[in-house]
Amino acid sequence: KTIIEGLTNSIDLLRNKKQDISWYDSTWFLEDLEPILGISLIALQNYINGSIKDFSDTTNNKTRFFKFSPTINGFEKSGIELIIGLANFYKHKEDTEIHSITKLTLESFELEINKDYEIENSPIIKGILLLDKDQDLNNIIKLVKSWRDNLWATQ
């Protein structure tokens, strides 16, 4: 099994919990969901960066490879750029300041990056919904694998 399969199983357990336990409402669900999605984004980021290293022997200038993915409808940046931005946000959300490139990326997707956001406005939750309306990590990994295929097809 892959890391993503394990994290998907965790999300399924939360969805079942939401259906089975009356007090476990959407707010509790989102509070529990956000860290699972954050870990998923970091795993995808590592896969993306590893793919770039495999392709070019270095991760220098890696941002140029992020563009080998289609833009998300209505936005100027790609799904890969969103994954990288969300992963960086998740890793550093407790820092005093969010890195300017991460901030610009998330703002380009109209995601709120206020440190005191309500869980319903979490950039992680809303960003995953931009990547897949069903929050299905399997669909997001397909997007990343398609990006990797496109990367190798450019040779």
Sorted by sequence, the CB contacts under 8 Å of residue 71 that are 6+ apart come out as 77, 78, 79
User: Residue 98 pLDDT > 90, yes or no?
Assistant: no
3-state secondary structure of 22: coil
Is residue 33 within 8 A of residue 11, CB to CB? The reply is yes
User: Residue 142 pLDDT > 90, yes or no?
Assistant: yes
Q: What secondary structure letter does DSSP report for 70?
A: P
pLDDT in tens, 13-55: 999 998 899 999 999 999 999 999 999 999 999 999 999 999 9
pLDDT in tens, 1-11: 588 899 999 99
Residue 39 has a pLDDT of 96
Sorted by sequence, the CB contacts under 8 Å of residue 78 that are 6+ apart come out as 66, 67, 68, 69, 70, 71, 72, 147
